[in-house]
Structure 1
Amino acid sequence: MSIELRHLRCFLAIADTLSVTRAAERLHLTQPAVSRTLRRLEQELGVRLVDRSTHHLALTPDGAAFRDRAAVAVAAFDRALGFAHHPGWPLRLGHAWSAAGTDTTALLRRWHKEHPGTPLELLRVDDRTAGLARGEVDAALLRGDVHTPGLVTEQLTTEPRVAGLPADDPLAHRAALSLAELADRTIALNTVSGTTTLDLWPASARPSSTITIGNTDDWLAAVTGGRAVGVTTSATAEMHPHPSMAYVPLTDAPPVPVVIAWRDEPGHPHIPDLVALAREVMGVRQVRHVPQHV
């Protein structure tokens, strides 16, 4: 048996849902058919992709590694077919949160004006590489250090860090804060695509209470709901104003680099144009004042 596209699509549906039942519903197949397809793929690869030993399915380390490669292969196939029917091949730009900050509109409008025949699609993907490593986008705007193999990055700018607090918090009206003043609070950590970890604090003064969330929307809800406080960048303050939210500059937290990234392989022919435009639009950004209440 040789591996076919249907085997990859079946595995990706299982990987995304972590459920044979939900994967079958997504693919409009029966559960036995999905199980057989997965089993045949594992037999052909000679590795176990899914751990079925618990009540909940989980990817094995081999499965997690293969998921990204399978996603790239399926995305490339779909793009090849789509190109045959759409002469204006869209350029997909991913981001996990806040896109290009307040430069987002300028970036999109400049692109539309200068490259009217190639649509630029801005896609939010809650993933450390905003879908780039998995082939869901052609390029991505990312924050923090990027060490994913196979990606090329260029730093565009940096963003100062700010504390995110409920608007009625005792510290919300301060002109600035230090990390130490947040150490006795519960910290909301976005472990999927965020840049804040406990390593931001000195080892001897790290917060002892955290909650884990997976995207910016949940981070905002945790803070405005009074469950936690957080640390983010000025772009979040610019792109996600909220009447129940206060953003206060941090005096001793290092800035966060903002990079544009793309895969180190043949890709969309307009990636160099996008990199050049992003460099022009975002590279001249000055550090802006971050209002406490926005």
Structure 2
Amino acid sequence: MDVELRHLRAFLAVARNLSFTQAARELSVSQPCLTRSIQRLESSLGSRLLDRTSRIVSLTPTGQYLLDHTQRLLAMLDSTLNAVRNSGTLRLGFSWLLPDPWAQQAIADFESSTSCQVELLRRDTPTAGIELGEVDVAVVRRIPMTKDVVVIPLFEEPRVAAVSITSPLARRRSLNWREFKDWPLVVNTVSGSTRPDDWEEGGAPEQVVTCGNYDEWLELVAANRGVGVAPSSTSRRSHHSGVRFLSIKSAPPICVYLVHSPNAQHPLLGAFLESAMVNTRQGME
């Protein structure tokens, strides 16, 4: 059957517009060329797809059937081709500090084995850009509430406390997890790793100061609006003159996850996930 993609795309354009003039304009071809493509398609299929007069274009029942099925198939084909076309870059989302040294090593190993470059994109959303289609895979420290993502647990990080240097707590070396109910807790409600429901019943902080991203969280702690809780990597990589980090006794760890869309199209996503898991296992050895 001598049917080419250009014939199908010509048919879809006419079927959507119900006008040869508008379809030709959409495809940037001449009307005679478009007419020949439709005639070639109908001849190859042995069926009339369009009823046309000098003024009106309409779909035959066979044409409607072809439209319903071909439109979906070509959309899938275009999505696949775009994924291959963009396979030279994989977009990794994060909402704040990537865990180290895991992230740097996983990225380096993936780029070395695939020649694909990882583009790092900060997105202050619960899934670090997955739900907006802005990234291919993302690192998060809380399981998103949405069910429209695949969640892959990686490893756990210890928690540390962040306090203002003007707070009396800054004179201490450590805090106990059960003590936090006595102080306001600064919570990044969008992408933060710690919330009141992380404490057992009766032990959660009674007062919560909310914000929407990591930078606001850090500044609220520095201003002594409350105490913050974050992964231990924060204490190594955040250098704010107004904040001091303390260890926390008896605190449950924070889990790090990779998330991606169940409909993810990037052809090298599997290779990145494998690199991530290999470096996770090596870090545990």
Q: TM-score range by the shorter chain?
A: 0.5 to 0.7
- Secondary structure of 1:204's aligned partner: coil
Partner of 1:51: none
Partner of 2:230: 232
| Cα deviation 1:167-191 (Å, max 9, x = unaligned) | 3433234332113323222211111
Partner of 1:69: none
- Percent identity of equivalent pairs: 31
Partner of 1:165: 163
Residues 80 and 229 (structure 1 numbering): CA distance in 2 closer, same or farther, change over 3 Å? Answer: same
> 1:161·1:231 contact (CA, 8 Å) conserved in 2?
yes
For the residues of structure 1 that align with 2:198 and 2:247, how far apart are their CA atoms?
15
> 1:101·1:236 contact (CA, 8 Å) conserved in 2?
no
> 1:190·1:212 contact (CA, 8 Å) conserved in 2?
yes
Partner of 1:182: 180
Residues 82 and 267 (structure 1 numbering): CA distance in 2 closer, same or farther, change over 3 Å? Answer: closer
Deviation at 1:261, TM superposition (A): 1.5
> 1:127·1:193 contact (CA, 8 Å) conserved in 2?
yes
Alignment map for 1:231-270 (pairs within 5 Å) = 231-270=229-268
> 2:110·2:271 contact (CA, 8 Å) conserved in 1?
no
1:207 lines up with 2:205 in the alignment: yes
Range with bigger deviation, 123-132 or 93-102 = 93-102
Deviation at 1:210, TM superposition (A): 1.8
Alignment map for 1:57-96 (pairs within 5 Å) = 89-96=88-95
* TM-score normalised by L of structure 1: 0.63
For the residues of structure 2 that align with 1:78 and 1:209, how far apart are their CA atoms?
51
Deviation at 1:81, TM superposition (A): 9.0
What amino acid does structure 2 have at the position aligned with 1:94? G
Deviation at 1:224, TM superposition (A): 1.3
For the residues of structure 2 that align with 1:151 and 1:249, how far apart are their CA atoms?
33
| Cα deviation 1:143-199 (Å, max 9, x = unaligned) | 123442132222110011111112343323433211332322221111111122212
- Secondary structure of 2:147's aligned partner: coil
* TM-score normalised by L of structure 2: 0.65
In structure 2, list runs of 5 or more residues that go unmatched.
Answer: 1-15, 17-75
Deviation at 1:265, TM superposition (A): 2.0
> 2:142·2:191 contact (CA, 8 Å) conserved in 1?
no
For the residues of structure 2 that align with 1:265 and 1:110, how far apart are their CA atoms?
25
Based on CA coordinates, which of the two structures has the bigger radius of gyration? 2
| Cα deviation 1:42-82 (Å, max 9, x = unaligned) | xxxxxxxxxxxxxxxxxxxxxxxxxxxxxxxxxx9998897
What amino acid does structure 1 have at the position aligned with 2:249? T
Alignment map for 1:127-146 (pairs within 5 Å) = 127-146=125-144
Residues 119 and 193 (structure 1 numbering): CA distance in 2 closer, same or farther, change over 3 Å? Answer: same
Residues 266 and 127 (structure 1 numbering): CA distance in 2 closer, same or farther, change over 3 Å? Answer: closer
Deviation at 1:212, TM superposition (A): 0.8
In structure 1, list runs of 5 or more residues that go unmatched.
Answer: 3-75, 288-294
| Cα deviation 1:202-221 (Å, max 9, x = unaligned) | 43343232211000010001
Range with bigger deviation, 203-212 or 119-128 = 203-212
> 2:111·2:117 contact (CA, 8 Å) conserved in 1?
yes
For the residues of structure 2 that align with 1:236 and 1:155, how far apart are their CA atoms?
20
> 1:200·1:253 contact (CA, 8 Å) conserved in 2?
no
Partner of 1:113: 112
Deviation at 1:136, TM superposition (A): 1.2
Partner of 2:38: none
Partner of 1:285: 283
RMSD over aligned CA atoms reads 2.8
| Cα deviation 1:90-126 (Å, max 9, x = unaligned) | 111111221233333323333332222x221111111
Deviation at 1:277, TM superposition (A): 0.9
Range with bigger deviation, 174-183 or 133-142 = 174-183
